[in-house]
Amino acid sequence: MAPLEPITRAAPRLAGRVVAAQTWRRAAFVHWRVGPELVAALLPPGTRPDLHDGATWAGLIAFDLGRARVAPFGPVPFAGDFVEVNVRLYAVDDAGRRGVVFRSLEASRVLAVAAARALYGLPYRWARTAHEVEGDLHRYTSRRHLAPGAHRMAVRVDPSRTVDDDAAAFLTARWALFQGRGARTLWMPNRHEPWLLHPAELVELDDELLALAGLPGLTGRAPDSVLFSRGVDAEFGRPVALG
């Protein structure tokens, strides 16, 4: 196996053309340390858990997604703006490339859900999602249509301070995703400006998404990291199959 690529706070250049772009705004990152043996079976073929400080990590990420577009077209009216809540893990492949693995993604735009599933096999679910802001308090909610899966989370942000340590970089400086599709695993690179991260406090959590994603029991203990960012503009490169 190849050496692991370094974790860099700045994104490498995309090789080839941009195939999609989005804005990610007012993002909350809530993470728990998890034993790698508990998540290995949840990752796509050709990948294994990525580790930091002796553990891998599972995250609940909630944010406002905007201006979603697929090249060469512009933003999709009435479909490219919504609140997303996702459950994600961290993996590495035999080439040493690091990436995110999405276990689920909640979105309120059924056209965006259908397009992401059809184009890239991403496990989007159609849900009623919302984001309310009261000063430094951000409350995110989601409830799936026609299936179990509800989520309610609130975080209080400290905008006077920033976080820039190795754990935060491991969890947020991610320049690709891995996605299983049939017998193959796709690797899809992305780039965006570095996250400006603030510490936050989890003040409310009532979540079914982690357990439904194969990660039961995490909400019974306090998270190991809670971060917040005003957001970034992201671009994606062409996905390629591993192997």
- Calpha distance 232→194 (Å, rounded): 8
Tens-of-pLDDT digits for all 243 residues of the chain?
789 999 999 999 998 899 999 999 999 999 999 999 999 999 999 999 999 999 999 999 999 999 888 765 555 554 568 999 999 999 999 999 999 999 999 999 998 898 889 888 999 999 999 999 999 999 999 999 999 999 999 999 999 999 999 999 999 999 999 999 888 999 999 999 999 999 999 999 999 999 999 999 999 999 999 999 999 999 999 999 997
Q: Which residues pair with 63 in a beta bridge?
A: 84
Q: Superfamily assignment of 18-235 in CATH?
A: Acetoacetate decarboxylase-like (2.40.400.10)
* Residue 213 DSSP SS3: coil
- Calpha distance 209→150 (Å, rounded): 7
The per-residue pLDDT for 70 is 76
- Calpha distance 203→84 (Å, rounded): 19
Q: Where are the domains of the chain?
A: 18-235
**What is the secondary structure of 61-129 as a DSSP string?**
EEEEEEEEEETTS---TTTS-EEEEEEEEEEEETT--EEEEEEEEEES-HHHHHHHHHHH---EEEEEE
- Calpha distance 174→189 (Å, rounded): 9
* Residue 4 DSSP SS3: coil
